[in-house]
Structure formats: structure tokens, C-alpha cells
Structure 1
Amino acid sequence: MNPIRKLGRWMATDAEGYLINECSWEKIQPPWLNLVCDLRDGCVNQLGDRLHSLYLRGSVPRGLAIPAVSDLDSVALLLGEFEPDHLEALLKPLRTALMQRYPFCLKVETALVSAVEIQAPTSQWQATLQTQGLCIYGEDVRSHLPRFKPGAALINHAFDLADDLADTQTFLRQASADYPHDNAHIKAQCGWIARRMVRTGFELVMATEGTFTRDLYPCYECFARYFPAQEPLMRKALELAIQPSDNREGLLMFLSHFGAWLVERVDATLERPD
């Protein structure tokens, strides 16, 4: 197991307390830059005129990505009505090809969002793009979006965690049949759900803290101050996020136990949006 390093930081705020977007093209470092360019070109080619604009988010546009640990997150804003399943099918070969070409990237994800939806005041993507997004293609909508302070608008994972855990548990139970000779898929899913668990832990206390980060170690450390009895389990989630496991049975037990506790705390602590 790789030692946990105390990496990451809190997002800076301006004099009025609004979060400052730290992303820029200049911060995208090799070997990630070629991957980003290939993702952009592939999305433009596959989505065509339906693509309004494309954004990066996460550690890559902040210059903090770690090979074999970080993934590449993007958001595609789309014009008009579209069938998500159809477009997902178009993009799946692109994601697969990119992960084969750039094996240092743990996972390539592209969220598909309507350009109309992003204008709705209740859209969670407003805060995500405004505070953590970098436009890499098309017209940047961020100048038309409000600014944000740490708070409920920045909750990205907590309310979806129950479904994410259920999907992961189903995947793990089927993994022996679907991937009998390739545990890389199990490790990728493990890292994905573990990161969501660590970030959910921070989202439980974000409003009280009055700060924001998506960086894993600060999320873990902050959670541990509020829930010291659960610190060993959250530390395990942090370890799995950094160095994923392919132990299906062990993962299923961990997700059933600590995952259920996190979901219960979300339901008891956070008010779901209407």
C-alpha cells in the first residue's frame, strides 16, 4: 500500500467569501496535456453540432493530477434535446481508447448536460463549472453564471451516494462473469466509489466548516475531526481511493458497512434539494 501523503488544499476565496476558480490551461502538465487534447478532439468529432462547449474539472486543470491515481473529469454542454444513452454509446469507444492510450489515467468521464439545464438556478452544474471548470472548447458560459460560496450548492456526491454504492455492489457481484481475467475494471470502480465516499464525508461537514475542497486528504482530515470514531474506516476509503483493490469480497463488505453508515448520515444531516 502506498503511504498516504498529505496532499491538497482548501479552495481560496475572495474578499467577499466567494470561491476562486483555480483552473487554467497553463496548469495542465505533461503527460496529461496530450490526453486532454485528444479528449477534446474526440468529443468534437463524436458530438458534432450538438456540442455547445466542453469543460474540464477536477485535479487535471488545477495542475494537481497524479498519474495512476487521478482521473479525467469533463462536462459536455449540449444543444437541443438528446438521448443520453445514445450519446453515451457514442462516447464509450472514445473513453476506452483514451484509457488504453494513456494508462496513467485511472478513468475518463464525460458528463452530458443540457445547455438549457445549466441556466436553471437549481442546477448543480452551475456551481461546479463556475468554481471548478475550465472551458476547453466552445463558448464559455461561466461569465453568465452566479458566483458561489461554500455551501449546499457545492454538494456533488452525497445525495447520489446510495445509488452509486448500489451500482458498484451490483458491478462487483457480476465482475467474475464479466471480467474473469481483468481485475483492472474492478480497481477502477473501487477507486471511483472510494473517492466519492471520501468527498461525501466532507460534504457532511462543509457548511459547518465554511470551506471547500475536492482534494482527498483535506476531505478525510476534516471528516475525521467531526467523526473520530469513523476515522479508521474513512482512512480505509482514502487508501482505496489512492491505491484501489480488486478484492471483490472485501470491497463488498466495506461498502455494505461504511457505505451504509455514510448514507444514513447524509439522510440525517443534509437537506435534499427540491
Structure 2
Amino acid sequence: MTGPEPGRGLHPDGTIAREGAPDRVPAAFRPVVDTTRRRVAALFGPDRLHSAYLYGSIPRGTAVPGVSDLDLLLALHAEPTAADRADAETLGAGLDRDFPAIDGAGVLVFGTDTLLSPLERHDLGFFLACLCTPLLGEDLAARLPAYRPDPLLARETNGDLALALPGWRARLAAAAGGEERRRLARGVSRRLVRTGFTLVMPDWNGWTSDLALSAEVFAARYPARADQMRLAAATARTPTPDPAVLTLLVTDLAPWLAAEYTAVHGPKAPRP
């Protein structure tokens, strides 16, 4: 039996490898990462914080100074309160203000019970175990299983795209300025590329967070939608306020992708 094809983000046994590591953080981002570690510890303290993680381009080593954002996940001992979320927003805003190397800072906050729950095993659990890099505290990945690029993972990570469509349409209709449309374009396009990739992930038998590669993997299996997915990948990297691009993504590619995803993998398990 041969192992997985090289370059597809898998261990030799076919399970998905963790994609980031502390030693991959580019030099330009080490000051903000070091400060993040200190500020998280000081703001949340051991009574609230179980562990903290980086994810995205910074721990993958692909971040671009002045362009990339800093993405952080906090695991709390208890389920987050309104005060916890407010502190997370304050943390992110302060890092964005103080470090020109990043263009924004996003902080996700969850309780450890949620992250380790059976319902989230193949969504948030996978996200933490494979896409997040430990920054502080005990690594919860040790309590989670190994993951494979199979239909179950595809369904539970992105099988709820249809639920996002009404909100996207409403935001598109209400967007009054270029900055609002740019923010919407960034979020929509990233979600579409990642969903397009996981749609075909089991057949490709691998994992990647690279947007350009994700679009090409999708394009090889859905050539009729290839140009739209490549446009989504380009928009994810360089968001545009162009209403024509947003309209195409939100009203054409997105509903088709949601329907195709459900037909191939079925809907994600409902959340409360």
C-alpha cells in the first residue's frame, strides 16, 4: 500500500497534518505574536483561560506584512460570557492599533466543553487540532482524534453554507460604501473557496488552506465553475468593493455551491 501523494498536507498514514508551527512565524510578525501571548495571559488570567492558539497565515509562515491579519482562538474553562467577548474585542483592537505589520486582528472565544464536544468533533475540534497552533496553555489537540479528508469531515466543516446565504444577500443589499462591500467580499470569498475545496477534498485526498491551490483543486472537478472560483480566490486575497463581483459571488456561485454541497455530502448536523 502506497502512502499519500507528497504535498497534500497528510501524514504518511493518511491523516491530516497540523499546518502551522511556532517556528514558521515570519520574523516581521514575531513582535506581535510575543505581545499577543503576554496580553492574553494578562487580560484573561489562569482562572478564565485554558489555552490560546494562532491560526491562519501567520503560523503557516505565509503572512505578508501590512496585508495579513492576526487570527487567534481562545479556549476558556467555562463558556464565554458577554464580558469575555468584550475583552476579546478589546484585545484584537489593541493589537491592530499597535502593530502596523497586521491588517486587523480577529479573536474567537469558545469554552473547552464546546471545543471537545461530540457535536463539534469534526468542525471546531478539527479546526483546533489541525488548523490552530498552540500559543499558551495545554494543547487541547491531545484530546482530539486524528482526522482524514473524508466525506464526514467535508459535511461537518462546510455543510451549512446555505444558512449563510440570506445574511449575505441582506448585507449586499444594505452595503452603502466601498469599505462595507470590501469587508463582505473578503468574508464571502474566503468561505466560498474553502467550501469549494472541501466539496472535492475527499476525492483529492488531501488538505490545504492555500486559497489559490484550493480553487485549482475545485476547478479540476468543476470546470464550468472554474473561473468563478478563481475569481473568489483572487477576491479573498485582494478584496474588491466592485458590486458586480459581489453580486456574482453571492447570487450565482454561492447558491449553486450550497445546493451541490448538500447533494454530494448532505447537510451539517444542526446546532442549537
Q: TM-score, normalised by structure 2?
A: 0.84
Following superposition, the deviation at residue 161 of structure 1 comes to: 2.6
1:193 is the counterpart of 2:193: no
**Per-residue deviation, residues 42-63 of structure 1 (Å, max 9, x unmatched):** 3333333211100112221121
Is the partner of 1:246 in helix, strand or coil?
A: coil
Distance in 2 (CA, whole Å) between partners of 1:156 and 1:63 is 27
Does the 8 Å CA contact 1:10/1:218 hold for their aligned counterparts? no
- Aligned residue pairs total 260
Give the 3 Å change call, closer, same or farther, for CA 230–29 of structure 1 in structure 2. Answer: same
Distance in 1 (CA, whole Å) between partners of 2:115 and 2:54 is 15
Distance in 2 (CA, whole Å) between partners of 1:71 and 1:157 is 22
Distance in 1 (CA, whole Å) between partners of 2:130 and 2:155 is 12
Distance in 2 (CA, whole Å) between partners of 1:250 and 1:25 is 36
Equivalent residue letter for 2:35: D
Higher relative contact order, structure no. (Cα contacts within 8 Å, ≥ 6 residues apart)? 1
Structure 2 counterparts to residues 108-257 of structure 1, below 5 A: 108-123=105-120, 124-151=123-150, 152-153=152-153, 158-176=158-176, 183-248=178-243, 250-257=245-252
Identify unmatched segments of 5+ residues in structure 2.
Answer: 1-5
Give the 3 Å change call, closer, same or farther, for CA 147–56 of structure 1 in structure 2. Answer: same
Alignment match, 1:44:
41
Following superposition, the deviation at residue 103 of structure 1 comes to: 4.5
Alignment match, 1:57:
55
1:31 is the counterpart of 2:60: no
| Root mean square deviation, CA, Å | 2.5
Following superposition, the deviation at residue 17 of structure 1 comes to: 1.3
When structure 1 is superposed on structure 2, of 40-49 and 236-245 the one drifting more is 40-49
Give the 3 Å change call, closer, same or farther, for CA 106–203 of structure 1 in structure 2. Answer: farther
1:21 is the counterpart of 2:21: no
When structure 1 is superposed on structure 2, of 97-106 and 239-248 the one drifting more is 97-106
When structure 1 is superposed on structure 2, of 130-139 and 218-227 the one drifting more is 130-139
Q: TM-score, normalised by structure 1?
A: 0.83
Equivalent residue letter for 1:36: V
Give the 3 Å change call, closer, same or farther, for CA 203–101 of structure 1 in structure 2. Answer: same
Distance in 1 (CA, whole Å) between partners of 2:62 and 2:230 is 21
Identity of aligned residues (%): 27
Does the 8 Å CA contact 2:76/2:109 hold for their aligned counterparts? yes
Does the 8 Å CA contact 1:172/1:186 hold for their aligned counterparts? yes
Equivalent residue letter for 2:251: S
Does the 8 Å CA contact 1:54/1:74 hold for their aligned counterparts? yes
Is the partner of 1:111 in helix, strand or coil?
A: strand
1:73 is the counterpart of 2:68: no
Give the 3 Å change call, closer, same or farther, for CA 30–155 of structure 1 in structure 2. Answer: farther
When structure 1 is superposed on structure 2, of 226-235 and 44-53 the one drifting more is 44-53
Is the partner of 2:79 in helix, strand or coil?
A: coil
Following superposition, the deviation at residue 229 of structure 1 comes to: 0.5
Following superposition, the deviation at residue 273 of structure 1 comes to: 4.1
Identify unmatched segments of 5+ residues in structure 1.
Answer: 1-8
Distance in 2 (CA, whole Å) between partners of 1:193 and 1:273 is 19
Is the partner of 1:200 in helix, strand or coil?
A: helix
When structure 1 is superposed on structure 2, of 19-28 and 191-200 the one drifting more is 19-28
Equivalent residue letter for 1:29: P
Alignment match, 1:260:
255
